[in-house]
């Protein structure tokens, strides 16, 4: 047991907790959640997080539609999802209580900043009476903490506005005592976060420590203790999916012996990838914040032509703008990673809400015959490995690759065991041999991959561009037969990548009554729901798709194994229709959700049992 995780006298041992911080965007909800999650990683507990916030920078205060949230599920066992219901709800205003109360477990703990339950804020939230006084919360343990009032008095040397902003630290200190956490990780986080603002460091630390001490004065204050996980040896940290994506790209560049270039235009919820990469110039990373999406991807194509591992990042409407340049990358057969952190659409849609509705665009959204491999990350941690693999495929097969993430896993976080570079697969780009005659579109027989010739290398002069080229020699041509051959060559190159994918696997019985299909960021919820129903005696199995195009070679065999098959996705059935297009003999049921929110295990279990019993 390390110093940050010691059972306290009277603390009840538990193995699993779901907590959610909720309030206005200006209440420090996301910061509180990030500090708490960082501490969990230090302690050695597994977790999954779900940040959820409005698109407005500052939504109207005390409104139900302006509530910001940060949900954390932590345990000493494997965590698959952020959880369906909360053991602890931390509310900074009445609106946040009104929106989230329905998901608090009976007998759960509700911590409220009672200073903000004023007549005006209650009325704005739609309350006709104060829930703290009218006995409507009698089924819960309610801790009324006048946090805002207390930190204003505590930090009287600051103006009222800045003093009140430390209320989240006061509540955080109280929670650290509730869960038997040492304050050291939080103190270190605050010192780093506000290192250039000494007055804010002092105020936040003072509020944090006083919140911890204040909790000791509360009668019957609930205290818990979670033993840490049995983890494999190694270095662990809390990592956000977008940060993991950035790290995966950097690791791939290092393995390939190349510089990494990323050309992107900032867009929610993908911006953090570009921000993270901009911090690592010492590793040979070059970042270019372009004036628009088209400039972002075309700059990356240029960097790829020049011999770098190149990537571009975007979301939803940004992917639409990159379409023409994606076709250029297909035609030039240059390596490029296109990261799409999906959000609810179409058009601007709901920028901070998650969806899986860019699959059709990724598969078909280009003019002409322009196939591109597609890999879909399954979790925040998997974003690292998916990004690394996308780069490996792009480099070794001389093709653009689309990496699909989504806002839920891109902004969410989990505990990451940092791999050693020696344990990652080798990446061997097919560089042209300067000692042999170079033909730009001569292909190897096994993979149909052309050689990569870096500009300026003597003897490797060649043409690239959007015009069709002649097979082998690379001259511009409009010859009909040659065009057809080149189209088939490019298609065959992508098809053959399926031989590098691992075979699709089933978790559960090999001949299930119901086979559940998922892809991308829905894995955790679906896996958890299947596990719960298996424990209840249902003959149910799960197969999760990481490789979307080309599909794994045994996909048809896997789908035929279930008496019934249901495809779960956060869209109106895009992957289900792609499977139908390829395997017309298999009847597929669907469970779809397009509310900007991830699945809950409960709703999935209900859908599965209904289908099993029909």
**Phi, psi at 289, each rounded to 5°:** -85, 105
Q: Which pTM value belongs to this model?
A: 0.95
Residue 60 confidence (pLDDT): 85
Q: For the ranges 3-12, 330-339, 420-429, which has the lowest average pLDDT? A: 3-12
- Among 50, 35, 37, 41, smallest CA distance to 81 is for 50
CB 518 within 8 A of CB 569: yes
What strand order describes the sheet that includes 514-519?
Answer: 540-545, 514-519, 564-569, 589-592
Confidence check: pLDDT of 5 > 70: no
Give me the mean pLDDT over the 218-227 stretch: 95
Q: What single-letter DSSP state applies at residue 450? A: B
pLDDT band at 61 (very low <50, low <70, confident <90, very high): confident
CB 208 within 8 A of CB 150: no
Q: Give the domains, in start order, of the chain with CATH numbers.
A: 12-225 (3.40.920.10), 237-423 (3.40.50.970), 430-500 (no CATH), 514-613 (3.40.50.920)
Confidence check: pLDDT of 429 > 60: yes
Confidence check: pLDDT of 131 > 60: yes
CB 151 within 8 A of CB 164: yes
* Tokens at 584, concatenated: 């017309």
Q: Which residue has the higher pLDDT, 330 or 59?
A: 330
512: three-class secondary structure by DSSP: coil
In degrees, rounded to 5, the angle at the alpha carbon of residue 12 between the alpha carbons of residues 8 and 13 is 95
Residue 7 confidence (pLDDT): 61
CA–CA distance, 215 with 230 (Å, rounded to integer): 30
Question: What share of the chain has pLDDT > 70, as a percent?
Answer: 99
Residue 598 half-sphere exposure toward CB, CA atoms < 13 A: 31
Give me the mean pLDDT over the 160-165 stretch: 94
CB 39 within 8 A of CB 2: no
Confidence check: pLDDT of 413 > 90: yes
pLDDT band at 36 (very low <50, low <70, confident <90, very high): very high
Give me the residue label for tokens 């994606």: 326
Confidence check: pLDDT of 1 > 70: no
556-604 confidence digits (pLDDT tens) = 999 999 999 999 999 999 999 999 999 999 999 999 999 999 999 999 9
What's the chain's average pLDDT? Answer: 96
β-bridge pairing 374-376 and 309-314: unpaired
CB 155 within 8 A of CB 163: yes
Residue 317 confidence (pLDDT): 97
Residue 8 confidence (pLDDT): 61
Residue 4 confidence (pLDDT): 44
CA–CA distance, 37 with 20 (Å, rounded to integer): 12
Residue 541 half-sphere exposure toward CB, CA atoms < 13 A: 20
What DSSP assignment string belongs to 574-601? HHHHHHHHH-TTS--EEEE--SSS---H
Give me the mean pLDDT over the 119-137 stretch: 96
Residue 9 confidence (pLDDT): 63
Residue 297 confidence (pLDDT): 99
pLDDT band at 251 (very low <50, low <70, confident <90, very high): very high
Give me the mean pLDDT over the 363-383 stretch: 98
Cis peptide before 296 (omega within 30 of 0): no
């Amino acid at each position: 047991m390390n110093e940050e995780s010691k059972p306290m006298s009277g603390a009840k041992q538990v193995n699993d907790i779901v907590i959610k911080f909720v309030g206005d965007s200006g209440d420090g909800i996301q910061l509180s959640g990030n500090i708490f999650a960082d501490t969990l990683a230090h302690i050695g507990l597994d977790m999954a997080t779900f940040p959820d916030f409005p698109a407005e920078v500052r939504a109207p205060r005390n409104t139900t539609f302006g509530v910001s949230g940060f949900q954390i599920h932590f345990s000493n066992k494997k965590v698959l999802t952020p959880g369906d219901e909360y053991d602890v709800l931390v509310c900074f205003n009445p609106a946040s209580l009104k929106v989230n109360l329905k998901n608090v477990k009976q007998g759960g703990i509700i911590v409220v900043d009672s200073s903000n339950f004023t007549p005006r804020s209650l009325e704005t939230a739609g309350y006709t009476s104060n829930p703290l006084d009218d006995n409507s919360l009698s089924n819960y343990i309610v801790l009324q903490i006048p946090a805002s009032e207390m930190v204003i008095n505590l930090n009287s040397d600051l103006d009222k506005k800045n003093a009140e902003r430390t209320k989240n630290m006061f509540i955080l200190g109280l929670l650290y005592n509730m869960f038997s956490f040492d304050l050291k990780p939080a103190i270190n986080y605050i010192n780093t976060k506000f290192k250039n603002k000494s007055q804010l460091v002092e105020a936040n630390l003072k509020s944090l420590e006083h919140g911890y001490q204040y909790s000791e004065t509360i009668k019957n204050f609930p205290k818990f203790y979670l033993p840490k996980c049995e983890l494999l040896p190694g270095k662990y940290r809390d990592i956000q999916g977008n940060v993991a994506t950035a790290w995966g790209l950097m690791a791939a560049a290092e393995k390939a012996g190349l510089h990494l270039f990323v050309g992107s235009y900032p867009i929610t919820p993908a911006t953090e990838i570009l921000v993270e990469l901009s911090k690592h110039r010492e590793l040979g990373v070059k970042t270019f914040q372009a004036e628009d999406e088209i400039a972002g991807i075309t700059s990356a194509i240029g960097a790829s032509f020049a011999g770098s591992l190149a990537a571009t990042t975007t979301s939803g409407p940004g992917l639409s703008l990159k379409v023409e340049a994606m076709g250029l990358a297909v035609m030039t057969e240059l390596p490029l990673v296109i990261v799409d952190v999906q959000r609810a659409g179409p058009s601007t849609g709901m920028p901070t809400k998650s969806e899986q509705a860019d699959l059709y665009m990724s598969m078909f959204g280009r003019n002409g015959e322009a196939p591109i491999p597609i890999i879909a990350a399954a979790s925040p941690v998997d974003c690292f490995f998916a990004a690394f693999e996308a780069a490996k495929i792009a480099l070794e097969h001389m093709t653009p690759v689309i990496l699909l993430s989504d806002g839920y896993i891109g902004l969410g976080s989990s505990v990451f065991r940092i791999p050693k570079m020696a344990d990652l697969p080798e990446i061997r780009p097919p560089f042209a041999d300067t000692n042999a005659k170079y033909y730009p579109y001569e292909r190897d027989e096994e993979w149909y991959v052309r050689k990569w010739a870096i500009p300026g290398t003597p003897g490797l002069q060649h043409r690239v561009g959007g015009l069709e080229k002649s097979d082998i020699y690379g001259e511009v041509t409009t010859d009909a037969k040659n065009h057809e051959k080149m189209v088939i060559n490019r298609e065959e190159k992508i098809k053959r990548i399926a031989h590098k994918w691992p075979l699709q696997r089933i978790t559960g019985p090999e001949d299930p009554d119901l086979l559940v299909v998922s892809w991308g960021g829905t894995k955790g919820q679906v896996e958890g729901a299947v596990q719960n129903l298996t424990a209840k005696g249902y003959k149910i199995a799960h197969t999760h798709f990481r490789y979307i195009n080309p599909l794994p070679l045994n996909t048809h065999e896997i789908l035929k194994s279930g008496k019934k098959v249901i495809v779960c996705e956060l869209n109106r059935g895009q992957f289900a229709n792609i499977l139908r297009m390829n395997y017309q003999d298999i009847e597929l049921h669907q469970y779809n959700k397009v509310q900007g929110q991830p699945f809950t295990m409960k709703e999935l279990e209900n859908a599965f049992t209904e289908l099993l019993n029909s």
